Chains A and B, each alone.
Chain A
Amino acid sequence: MSIKVDHVSYVYDPDQKVRRYAIQDVSLEIRKGEFVSIIGHTGSGKSTLVQFLNGLLKPTEGHVYFDGRDIFEKDFSLKLLRQKVGIVFQYPDHQLFESDVLKDVMFGPKNMGQSPKEAEANARAALKVMAMDESTFEKSPFELSGGQKRRVAIAGILAMNPDYLILDEPTAGLDPEGRDEILELIRTLNWSQRIAVILVSHSMEDVAEYANRILVMNDGRIIMDDTPKNVFRSYQELEKIGLSAPQVTYVAHELKKKGFPIDEDIMTVEEAKKEILRILTHDS
């Protein structure tokens, strides 16, 4: 099971003589169960790329395959695809509109043709997975905290039981606690339900902590597609395009320069602590 993007390009105004590419010759494959992060500064093509994955945008050139089938073929059901590949856009909580939380989450499944009973069962399950307490189900979405609203919005997509979940900066504007809460829930989804997660993020610390694979985008191209360790090892490359590595990666590199026999591929506080303790106790 996979989504495959094959030599895809997207041109802003195809009629213009000078072609301006939003995406230029991108290929990649995402398999079910992966946790992939996409990083890149604003305008690098991240948001455009993810919209190919469920057929919201049609590439100017190239093909997109879902489980081996071209999604833009005539008899391929994009509606079904969008159930399998859900996108949660930035600030999804701005799109909550129903009179209560449960109804809001039921909207997607009902729209897909589920009976009210089925839709409700799926909505309840999705809300539970997003750690929403049953006491909130009857509340107006406007009574919820920022983090809760965001979780309800994600539940609205989950209620359609997708195999792939695309999240465009799901934590933007939340405080650290709301941010950790959502990322932990997403990690759990990825582990327990084997839902593939494609996370567009600006936080290198979060990406280092959660993703198994990172795509780095710049000027409409994928310039790196590798494990977090390998990507952050090239932190100088990242800096050239306005990105950076996690803070502790810099600590490791600086210590190495000063003669510490330290593993430079450190990305998390936990790893850094172990390494530094090992070196300091070895010394004494």
Chain B
Amino acid sequence: MRNILIKIRDLVHEYREYDENDNLVKTMRAVDGVTLDIEEGSFVAVLGHNGSGKSTFAKHLNALLMPTEGTVIFSGRDVQEIENLWELRKEAGMIFQNPDNQIISNVVEEDVAFGPENLGIPSEEIIARVAFALQRVGMEAYRLSSPNKLSGGQKQRIGIAGLLAMKPRCILMDEPTAMLDPEGRREVLRTVHELNRQEKITVVMITHYLEEVVDVDRVVVMDHGKIVMDGTPKEIFSRIDKLKEHHMRVPQVVELADELRKEGIALPEGILTVDELVEALCRLR
């Protein structure tokens, strides 16, 4: 059994709108009673359509938002009681959808060094960390380039390197590939999977692409602010009707396997990839 890194209990988040006289006019419950344990070293994907509450949920994991009700315990500490939130964000950094929004400097290595510099880390250590981080995301050749000239996928990897330089325990990603082309998408996913496996960094990824969660450890589906499904990719993809009920679109292979099953073809459950489907069909002949 792995350690629990983040323990979430009965989490509720409400957005409140006030009129000019500070009277409450509208309450919107974006997260509605979420309980979840995230194990250290695991790769967890949180799926859901726009407005399902998944982004609001994720922002609680490093205290970008505070619970309206319930608790978030990060490595034994209640986030609402942590005085220095920057300490927490160093351990659990976040990558956002738009790669342009998180780049600050005109030179790649300065950008990556920005975080550790602010922590007052000695410069030899910073240099070592930046070199390591850029190497881990495969961007060392761009050390002295301008981030503006990079592709979206490269920018996201620079963002990830920036987090790595802080030596995080956890990387949170809020739809990190939504604005990328297929190649950029592959680069970013490959990078985070490697970091998860080799550096044992916990990853929580928010996404609405089911294709991206085929090889994660655990998939959580949210709708209406609640967790509606929770399991391994195979378990989740074996319940296609339920996924569709929650407005998710499944990859073509999964859909095809499901359609064939409905026509009485005896395919096993949990087919996720082209190879798995081809193999299963060959066995039927």
Contacts and interface: CB of A to CB of B under 8 A. Distances in A.
Interface of A: 41-43, 145-147, 172-180, 202, 205, 242-244, 246-248, 250-251, 254-255, 258, 260, 268-269, 272-273, 276-277, 280, 283
B184 to A, nearest CB: 7
A273 B263 contact: yes
B131 to A, nearest CB: 27
Contacts of A242: 182-183
Given A175-B247, A177-B49, A251-B253, A202 B265 contact: no
8 contacts: A41-B183, A176-B248, A178-B50, A180-B249, A242-B182, A251-B274, A260-B285, A272-B256
Contact of A176 (B175, B249, B252, B282): B249
A172 B277 contact: no
Chain A binding site: helix, strand, loop or mixed by DSSP?
A: helix
A126 B161 CA distance: 45
Given A145-B51, A146-B50, A254-B275, A273 B259 contact: yes
Given A146-B50, A247-B274, A269-B252, 19 more contacts: A42-B183, A43-B151, A173-B179, A175-B49, A175-B50, A177-B247, A177-B249, A202-B182, A242-B183, A251-B253, A251-B274, A255-B282, A268-B252, A272-B256, A273-B260, A276-B260, A276-B281, A277-B260, A280-B284
B278 interface: yes
Contacts of B212: none
B181 interface: yes
Interface residues of B, number: 34
B157 interface: no
B278 A277 contact: no
Contacts of B151: 42-43
A242 B281 CA distance: 28
Interface of B: 49-51, 97, 151-152, 175, 178-179, 181-184, 208, 247-249, 251-253, 255-256, 259-260, 263, 265, 274-275, 277-278, 281-282, 284-285
A172 to B, nearest CB: 6
Contacts of A273: 256, 259-260, 263
A244 B281 contact: no
B255 A277 contact: no
Nearest to A173: B178
B278 A251 contact: yes
B281 A255 contact: yes
A41 B183 CA distance: 8
A174 B50 contact: yes
Nearest to B208: A175
| Chain B CB within 10 Å, residue with most, of A173, A244, A246, A251 | A251
A173 B184 CA distance: 14
Candidate in B51, B247, B278 with the most chain A CB atoms within 10 angstroms: B278
